[in-house]
A = this chain, B = another copy of it.
Amino acid sequence: VNIVKIGGNIVDNEDALHLFLSTIAQQSPCIIVHGGGKVATEIANKLGVESVMVEGRRITDKNTLEIATMVYGGLINKKIVAILQSFNTNAIGMTGADANCIVAKKRPVKDIDYGYVGDIELVHTEFLISCLKQNITPVMASLTHDKKGSLLNTNADTIAAQIAMAIAKTENTRLVYCFEKNGVLADANDNKSVIRTLNAQTYNELLLSGAIHKGMKPKLENAFLAKKSGVHKVFICHADSVHQPEQGTEIL
């Protein structure tokens, strides 16, 4: 089973999104996980809802959760599904609430109150696998739920990793993080400096030396966790290379 996560920069760009989905259509059925991009912030601004970010994470108050639900779960999710259908790839848009796929717990308040942000507790894979067997590609927005009636905002990289980990228990699984760079770079300013393979030890060394960009940390920690937890193959690559992720970085 292929699990592919696409980043906000692809989602934001109509042409890049079409190109990406036309490639993905040839690998379907697979599981797609998508984040939000700038649209949510733009719409929040227009609606007069302020976006507060702490350490790269959006603080999700009630209004922000509604906007995330509209934009991630509605606008972007359904746009992806409609485009895939035009390529004759059957797809179904979902959040973690749908078919009870991803149950999360509202993050406990410590130093920061993240608001309606969910830490994943459980991934139910039966429905996802049933879709794949029906040749249907699940398209998952970065939302989970608490089983008590509330949706929760959850990082898309984390969702992709947790789905892959849950599916890896029964299926051969490949997780591919697609974004706008060619892979994990030894020099953040040189898109040709792709690190072909990266293991946990080298990662920690490169992180300490400051070679790896800090912004890559959450994605890489998810990638290493997935690999350590039984996901068979994990890659980080450019969206244009989704059909041959070996051109990016393989996580070992």
Contact = CB atoms under 8 A, between A and B. Distances in A.
Main secondary structure of the interface of A (DSSP, over half): helix
Interface in A99-152: 99-100, 126-127, 130, 134, 136, 143, 145, 147-151
A145 to B, nearest CB: 5
A154 interface: no
B127 A136 contact: yes
Contact of A98 (B69, B79, B81, B83): B81
A150 B84 CA distance: 10
A148 B251 CA distance: 37
A71 interface: yes
Contacts of A16: none
A207 interface: no
Residue among A43, A98, A136 facing the most chain B CB atoms (10 A cut-off): A98
A83 B148 CA distance: 7
Contacts of A71: 70, 74
Nearest to A139: B98
Interface in A67-87: 69-75, 77-79, 81-83, 85-86
Given A46-B47, A73-B75, A82-B150, 12 more contacts: A70-B70, A73-B73, A73-B74, A74-B77, A86-B147, A90-B99, A90-B100, A91-B99, A92-B94, A93-B94, A99-B136, A127-B136
